[in-house]
Amino acid sequence: MSSSEMSSSEMSSSEMSSSEMSSDLTALLVSLQLADSAFPIGMYTMSHGLEGFAQSGLLDDVSVDDLLADLLVAVVGPGDATALAHAHAAALAGDPDAVVAIDHLLFASKLSAELRAASVRSGRQLIGLAVDLFDSPAVHEHATRIRAKATPGCQAVVSAVCHAAAGSTAAHAVAGDLFAFANSFVGASLRLRLTDHRGAQVTLRRAAPVIESVTLAALDRSLDDLGGFAPLVDIASATHERADARLFAS
C-alpha cells in the first residue's frame, strides 16, 4: 500500500505514536539533566554522611559499595524516594496543598540538622532553576510557597514537582533521583580518595539493582511509613556537624 493510500485512522495512529515517543523522550531528557552531577544545585558539596563515616573510622569494617547500598535501602528509599513518589502523585493530581504537607513531613523526618539544611539548600537552588526550565504553573506556585517560607523546600519534593511538570512517570522520577544521590555519593568518595574513577563507575553499576528494588519499594510504600532508620548515619552526621575541619557540608 502506498503512503497515499494509507487510511486516515492509520495515519492518526502513526502520528499518535510519534507524539507519545516525543513526550517520552522529553521526559527522559529532563530526568538525565536533573540526575547529572554537573546540575548546579550543590550536590557536589555533600558527602551524604560519607565524610562523617570516614572521620569516625566507621568505614574500617564496611566498603563504600555496602554503605551506599545501606543508605539507599534504609535512609533514602524510605525517606526522600517515598516522599518523591507521593509528591509526584499529588503534583499530577493538581493538589499543591498535599505537596506542601509531604514536604513538611519529609523535613520533620530528617533527624540530623545538617541533612535537613542540605536538603533544603539543594531544593531551593533547584526550584530557582526550575522556574526558568519549566513553563509550569505548578512549579511556579511551589516556588512562590518556598520563597514565602510556607514550605521548607526539600530537594526530593521539588524534584517531584519538576518531574511531574516534565511528564516523567513516578518510577522514572524516583529512579532518576536515586541515581543522582548515588552519583553524588561516589563523587564524594572520589574526593575523599576512598576510590578511583574506575572504582566509582563499578560502584554505580553495582548500585543499579539496589536502585531498582528501592524504587519499587518507594512506589509501594504508604506515606504513613515515611522515614528511615539508620542510627549510625545520624551519629556520623552529628559528629560531622562539629568536626574541626570538613570538606563537605554533610
Q: How many CB atoms lie within 10 A of CB 235?
A: 16
pLDDT in tens, 1-24: 444 444 444 434 444 455 555 578
Asked if residue 83 lies in contact with residue 226, where contact means CB atoms within 8 angstroms, the answer is: yes
Following CA atoms 54, 56, 61, 63 in sequence, which dihedral angle do they give, to the nearest 10 degrees?
-20
Average pLDDT over residues 82-91: 98
d(CA 180, CA 106): 18
SS (H, E, C) the chain: CCHHHCCHHHHHHHHHHHHHHHHHHHHHHHHHHHHCCCCCCCHHHCCCCHHHHHHCCCCCCCCHHHHHHHHHHHHHHHHHHHHHHHHHHHHHCCCHHHHHHHHHHHHHHCCCHHHHHHHHHHHHHHHHHHHHHCCCHHHHHHHHHHHCCCCCCCHHHHHHHHHHHHCCCHHHHHHHHHHHHHHHHHHHHHHCCCCCHHHHHHHHHHHHHHHHHHHHHHHHCCHHHCCCCCHHHHHHHHHHHCCCCCCCCC
d(CA 161, CA 84): 9
Residue 46 is predicted with a pLDDT of 79
The pLDDT of residue 203 is above 50 = yes
Residue 18 is predicted with a pLDDT of 55
Q: Which three cell numbers stand for residue 24?
A: 517520552
pLDDT band of residue 133 (cuts 50, 70, 90) is very high
| Residue burial 97-110, b: 16+ Cβ < 10 Å; e: rest | ebbbbbbebbbebb
Average pLDDT over residues 89-95: 97
d(CA 220, CA 208): 19
Question: What share of the chain in percent tops pLDDT 90?
Answer: 60
Between 33 and 87, the more confident residue is 87
Write the single-letter amino acid at 1.
Answer: M
Between 86 and 228, the more confident residue is 86
Average pLDDT over residues 174-180: 96
Q: CATH assignment of 76-241?
A: 1.10.4190.10
Among 27-31, 35-39, 61-65, 211-215, name the one with the lowest average pLDDT: 61-65
d(CA 12, CA 135): 28
Write the single-letter amino acid at 196.
Answer: D
Residue 151 is predicted with a pLDDT of 98
- N-term to C-term CA, the chain: 64
Residue 183 is predicted with a pLDDT of 93
The pLDDT of residue 206 is above 50 = yes
The pLDDT of residue 119 is above 90 = yes
pLDDT in tens, 143-167: 999 999 999 999 999 999 999 999 9
Residue 22 is predicted with a pLDDT of 57
d(CA 178, CA 208): 10
pTM, to two decimals: 0.86
| Residue burial 195-218, b: 16+ Cβ < 10 Å; e: rest | beeeebeebbeebeebbeebbebb
Average pLDDT over residues 115-134: 93
The pLDDT of residue 245 is above 80 = no
